[in-house]
Structure 1
Amino acid sequence: MIERMTVVLPEPMAAQLRAAVEAGEYASTSDAMRDAVRLWSERHRLRDLETERLQQAWDAGKASGRHGTLDFEELRREARSRLTAQDNESGRAG
């Protein structure tokens, strides 16, 4: 089923729409508007998926039980220590 709607656009947008049709990008302004609505719908769907992904990450973080302030110097020391251990293991294997 198709429903007819009237859409009011500011002149610069209307000019862009007409230019796209004249350039052959779309068969009609209706085709261009349908494409715009599809893109808008897809953007909303992706935003909903991203929100869900962030909620899952938040929940997983809370469930991990780790919280509090971070000591970035300690994190750097631990990372350097792991890298040094990996380098040492790589040197022994070769």
Structure 2
Amino acid sequence: MSNVQKVSVALTPEFVAMLREAVETGEYTSTSEVVREALRAWKLRRAAHEIEVSELRRLWNEGIASGSPVDGEPLFKRLRDKYAGQAPET
């Protein structure tokens, strides 16, 4: 790897044991590889979170722009009345 920088990180004994176990079992070739993969997963999770927040914000704004709220209970009552007795019995 080119342009690699070393950093020092303090970890709990539990995390150190997990790192060492991942290397000892052959799942990874080094503890650095484990950490790099964890950082990549963290980066993806953060990006996904940002997308979710943006989508929630968009939907919120769409709801606000759609106008005043309407009480849905009368519609649901009409639908329940219309389809009462049509549901298959279990």
Q: TM-score range by the shorter chain?
A: 0.7 to 0.9
Corresponding residue number in structure 1 for 2:80:
80
Mark the runs of 5 or more structure 2 residues left unpaired by the alignment. Answer: none
Instruction: Give the aligned length.
Output: 82
Q: How does 1:25-44 map to 2 (within 5 A)?
A: 25-44=27-46
Mark the runs of 5 or more structure 1 residues left unpaired by the alignment. Answer: 88-94
In 2, the alpha carbon distance for the partners of 1:26 and 1:78 equals 61
The alignment yields a C-alpha RMSD, in angstroms, of 1.9
Going from structure 1 to structure 2, the CA distance change for 1:13 and 1:75 (only over 3 Å counts) comes to farther
TM-score normalized by structure 2?
A: 0.79
Write the deviation string for residues 69-91 of structure 1: whole angstroms up to 9, x where unpaired. x353x23224336x64xx8xxxx
TM-score normalized by structure 1?
A: 0.76
In 2, the alpha carbon distance for the partners of 1:75 and 1:20 equals 57
Q: 4+ residue stretches of structure 1 with deviation over 4 A? A: none
Query: Which structure dedicates a bigger proportion of its chain to helix?
Result: 1
